[in-house]
Structure 1
Amino acid sequence: MVSAYIADGLVRGERVLYYSDRTAPGAIDAWLDPRGVDGALAIARGQLEVRPAADDRFDPGVLVDGIRDAIRDARAAGFQGLRLTGEMSWALPDTVRLHEYESGVASTVTGSDGVAAVCQYDERLFDKADFSGLVARHFGVMTIDPLHDDRRLRIVPTFAPRGLRVIGTVDDSTAGPFAEALAHTAGWPEPIVVIDLAELRFIDVAGIRALVRAAEALPPDRALEVRHLAPTLRNVLRIVGWDTTPGLTIGDAGVRAS
């Protein structure tokens, strides 16, 4: 989602300001390459800037003033608008003043023409009650659209690692959508696509066969890595010989099948 947000802004002639806490600038450039956007060139000409998210002298007022300055500077430089995004993990472990910061950002961005902001919260890192209050200070929440979602099966793309999270049941009625989702990953640039089955309740032989066929269709330098596969299903793969399928990795440790 973040790479699409950044790339779209650069293509539209907007300036993009990225506040980084755990991501190196080179990684952001790599995100943009599959989208046909030259991140290094955008950085060189000042259209894309990566800044440290914060330091030990966290001052909400200073940070909000810096955003206001960035809005003014982008307009003065002739850009079509300004897109902001930041990794919010910098606020941990003390998030007391973060609410003040978010209120200041909201009041600055809301109603400003040509300005958009996305705060990147990893909810696993924040206290649940505090996180709910922080979310409430935002105009909306961006979520990942599932590739398939019905009452029996939900398939959601993941990005760290890149792959699919499979939730529910794969049987005769859902094997088709499951195979389509696996085929969708064939166009991704990552050499390894992780299929997370931790929340899978049931998968039949047709579903396992779809995994095997998807792996067989991959070029030699790519693989499907299946995680959290139930022991009984591991035995099925071993018995029929599918565990040696080229391009298929079984087990959380990721030992490639030969």
Structure 2
Amino acid sequence: MKHISDPISTTHAGRIRAGDHLCLPFASEAEQREVVSAYIADGLRRGERVLYFADRTRPDAIDAWLGPRGVDGALAIARGQLDVRPAGDGAFDPADVVVGIRDAVRDARAAGFQGLRLTGEMSWALRGEPGTVRLHQYESGVASTVVDSGDLAAVCQYDERLFARAELPALLARHAGVVRIDPLHDDRRLRIVPTYSPRGLRIGGVVDDATSAPLAAALAQAAGWPAADPRLVLDLAELDFIDVAGIRALVRFAESLAPGRRVVVHRMPATMRRVLTLVDWPLEASDEPPCP
């Protein structure tokens, strides 16, 4: 499934700071979990309070999300740093929630926290009466609260599988930008970013002797992802150069996967395709662009 078009600004989960009002459009639970858990964990480590409005996610699942990031969610809840609340029922009143957020910012300051992080699953608006108007009211209220507060960051979660695609651009426009998962590696030569629909990696820049180690590390991490889809898709559209050693690393990685799993390379550079043909290395290629 394709994401809707992103607003101009994109912020990675580990770089969100007070004053940011961002949107997370996601198309899978894996993407939601990765981005939101990074956002929450970063806030907890910074000494901020985190307020989570859960709608389709069980509140006890949030603790499980944080475990792999080395954060004890249950402890954070017990000491009042992490507050997971239901998003409400069909009578959910955006105005009341915005007032509650302003109170929560004040309470976080009074309790000695460095600020407040808010995130909510916006699927609450799909219950009961049509909620588009209420949703715009809510987003406007959150945006003004973020601007006025100085101690608040907010990430609004939109499941693209639930919302009508025609409605999403206007809703996203009420945010300063979108939030995406942090790259697995990002320096001046090589950038590797997880993708979710389908599951895989987007690799850009240069793969050579200097960058083969981070590529191998990212591939090893990807190999450990749950295999709901037997394919692991590598999108090479942004790859500027790869040497023979880099191609060999990709082939060896593909050969090391568990039986039934396979690597599919999307938008393979022509030079790489020629090398594979010459040496007869088996690596599945596809010219079909993957979903971002």
Same fold (TM over 0.5): yes
* 1:167–1:197 CA contact under 8 A, matched in 2: no
The structure showing larger relative contact order (alpha-carbon pairs under 8 Å, at least 6 residues apart) is: 2
Q: What aligned pairs does 1:159-178 form with structure 2 within 5 A after superposition?
A: 163-165=199-201
Computed over aligned residues only, the root mean square deviation of the Cα atoms, in angstroms, reads 4.3
What is the aligned counterpart of 1:186 among 220, 223, 235?
220
Tell me the SS of whatever aligns to 2:195: strand
Q: How far does residue 179 in structure 1 lie from its aligned partner after superposition?
A: 9.1
**Which amino acid in 2 is paired with 1:131?**
L
Residue 210 of structure 1: how far off its partner (Å): 4.5
Q: 1:123 offset after TM fit, Å?
A: 2.9
| Ranges in structure 2 where 5+ consecutive residues have no aligned partner | 1-34, 238-244, 267-279, 283-292
**2:22 alignment counterpart:** none
CA distance in 2, matches of 1:119, 1:69: 19
Secondary structure of residue in 2 paired with 1:142: strand
* Alignment equivalent of 2:65, drawn from 18, 31, 38: 31
Q: Is the 8 A contact 1:14 1:82 kept in 2?
A: yes
Partner of 2:10: none
Residue 49 of structure 1 aligns to a residue whose secondary structure is strand
Deviation, structure 1 residue 64: 1.0
Aligned to 1:158: 195
Secondary structure, counterpart of 2:174 in structure 1: coil
How many percent identity over aligned positions? Answer: 64
Q: Answer whether contact 2:192 2:201 (CA < 8 A) is retained.
A: yes
Contact 1:183/1:214, CA 8 A, preserved across alignment: no
* Residue of structure 2 aligned with 1:56, choices 84, 90, 104: 90
* Structure 2 residue corresponding to 1:106, chosen from 110, 129, 143: 143
Unaligned runs of at least 5 residues, structure 1: 231-239, 243-258
Moved more, 105-114 or 185-194: 185-194
Secondary structure of the residue aligned to 1:108 is helix
Distance 1:111 1:100, change over 3 A: same
Q: What does residue range 70-219 of structure 1 map to in structure 2 within 5 Å?
A: 70-92=104-126, 94=130, 95-144=132-181, 156-158=193-195, 163-165=199-201, 181=215, 183-187=217-221, 190=224, 192=226, 195-197=231-233, 210=249, 213-214=252-253
Structure 2 SS opposite 1:129? coil
Aligned equivalents of 1:189, 1:46: Cα separation in 2: 36
Q: Secondary structure at the match of 2:253?
A: helix
Aligned residues: 226
Normalising by the residue count of structure 1, what TM-score does the alignment of the two structures yield?
0.67
Once the 2 structures are TM-superposed, how far is the Cα of residue 187 of structure 1 from its aligned partner? 4.0
User: Cα distance, 1:29 vs. partner?
Assistant: 1.5
Q: One-letter code of the match for 2:95?
A: G
**How far did 1:51 drift?**
0.8
User: What is the CA-CA distance between 1:164 and the residue it aligns to?
Assistant: 1.3
